[in-house]
Amino acid sequence: MDAISLVHASLGEQELAAVAEVFASGWPAGQGPAGKRLEAQLAQRYQVGDAVAVSNCGAALHLALMALGVSAGDEVIVADYTFPAPAQAVRYLDAVPVFADVRADTGTVDPQAVADLVTDRTVGVIAVDTLGLPADYAELRAITGRHGLFLVEDAACAVGATYRGAPAGALAEIGCLSFHGRKGASCGEGGAVLAADPKVGADVRLRSSFGIGSIFDMGSVVGLPIPQFTEIGYNFKLSDIAAAILSVQLGRIEELLARRSAVADAYGQLLAGQELLRLPHVPQDRTHAWQSYLITLDPRVDRAGVAAQLRGQGIGCGHGAWASHLQPVFASGQSCPVSADLFARSLAIPMHAELTDSQVEQVADALISAVAAHTPAGLVGGAA
């Protein structure tokens, strides 16, 4: 492990105590008491018609598209600059992902790019809250409403973020969350579907459990209930062990997000004025969940060299998100130049709630030195 890790989950004694309660209950599997409590907690927090806990955000996206009736040959517009889970979910249903370019300042999907891609085969749009920053939902809702399309919010990175005062995850008719180990609230692996329409939640819940519903609920029925398989379903349940951990994490989210925000503010101050790198931009109408902290390097800086120097000093770093359209599995001939540029120049530096002030300073100092060391000699000025 790096001395200063890129990511680190904030799990401790409270979470261990919650797991012990699940062990004592005798039901560690999915859709049991802890899972039901978590779903009620999510529905209340996000003020949605239903919330369904599932194994991960990829499963959430898959189930959401199934509930919306996406089928073979349909086109779904997806944000390009992201972990490519949205495009994979579209392909699971033999539908066609159409990649929309992103804004250069935020990395979130460009509403005008979405509007330009709508055809008579388009059935919906998956927006992404890029690395924890919500997209432009007012414009996106206007576009999807005008064309009669669905809008799904991939809020995998954005638990705790807001857009115009509303929580990320509840900014579209369906929101998909992730509780992976690097997220602001984590149970190691996990996800959820947040649905404005309870009927969508019921469809997702059924399909997430092989198409037969909760085995735990069946166990409380007198007699011998024998479920019938009427739908092709999946084993996408979240275990009660993970659900119990996550219930604690959701209760701590303000505390954990406050620390991440403080780290982001410190980076902003320590790295201000560095001409060869650009800091994240957060529009005034939204807040960031800071799953990751990405800086964008001047094209003349050797990113690989910077990363190697940081890692050589025990400081974790990564490339950030992907330009999905450039991945071989999605080769389509599409062009998303802004996304491709961000993919080539972005660098993620350590971001989590366990970072100390001295570690943040160490990262900033090391980054400044590495950028200087891997920029052509004599280069002066030139903002990224």
- Is it the case that residue 213 has pLDDT exceeding 90? no
Instruction: Say what the pTM is.
Output: 0.95
Task: For residue 53, give every residue at least 6 positions away whose Cβ sits within 8 Å of its Cβ, in sequence order, or none.
Answer: 30, 35, 38, 39, 42, 190, 191, 192, 237, 238, 243, 246
Does residue 51 sit in the same domain as residue 200?
Answer: yes
Q: Are residues 194 and 331 in the same domain?
A: no
Asked if the structure places residue 383 within a domain, the reply is: no
Of the chain, the percentage scoring pLDDT greater than 90 comes to: 89
Pairing of strands 81-82, 150-154: unpaired
Q: Considering the domain boundaries, does residue 280 fall inside one? A: yes
The overall average pLDDT reported for the chain is: 95
- pLDDT tens digits, residue range 56-98? 999 999 999 999 999 999 999 999 999 999 999 999 999 999 9
Residues 320-378: pLDDT tens digits? 999 999 999 998 889 999 999 999 999 999 999 999 999 999 999 999 999 999 999 76
What domain count does the chain have? 2
Look at residue 379 and tell me if it is in a domain: no
| Residue-level pLDDT at 378 | 60
Residues 104 and 26 both lie in one domain: yes
CATH number at residue 344: 3.90.1150.10
Looking at the structure, do residues 68 and 140 belong to the same domain, yes or no? yes
Predicted confidence band of residue 379 (pLDDT cuts 50, 70, 90): low
pLDDT at 1 over 70: no
- The CA-atom distances, in angstroms, between 209 and each of 190, 192, 371 are 15, 14, 50
State the residue range of the domain holding 129: 13-251
381 pLDDT above the threshold of 70: no
In a domain, 301, yes or no: yes
Per cent of the chain over pLDDT 70 is 97
Considering only CA atoms, which of 45, 38, 36, 52 is closest in space to residue 197? 52
Interval 213-241 mean pLDDT = 83
Confidence of residue 280 (pLDDT cuts 50, 70, 90): very high
Domain check: are 151 and 271 in the same one? no
Same domain, 44 and 107: yes
pLDDT of 380 > 50? The answer is no
Give domain status of residue 382, yes or no: no
- For 20-44, the pLDDT digits (tens) are 999 999 989 888 999 999 999 999 9
What is the predicted pLDDT for the residue at 217?
A: 75
The answer to whether 291 and 304 have CB atoms below 8 angstroms apart is: no
Give me the pLDDT at residue 225, please. 79
Binned at pLDDT 50, 70 and 90, residue 122 comes out as very high
Residue 337 sits in the same domain as residue 363:
yes
In a domain, 53, yes or no: yes
Token match 């491709």: residue? 340
Query: What is the structure's pLDDT at 2?
Result: 58
Q: Which of 221, 251, 281 is the last residue of a domain?
A: 251
pLDDT for position 383: 44
Q: Residue 37 domain-assigned?
A: yes
231-241 tens-digit pLDDT: 889 999 999 99
Confidence of residue 228 (pLDDT cuts 50, 70, 90): confident
The pLDDT of 105-116, averaged and rounded, is 98
Please tell me the predicted confidence (pLDDT) of residue 230: 83
Last residue of a domain, one of 201, 231, 251: 251
Answer yes or no: is 2 within a domain.
Answer: no
Q: Which residues are bridge partners to 151 per DSSP?
A: 125
Amino acid identity of residue 117, one-letter, is L
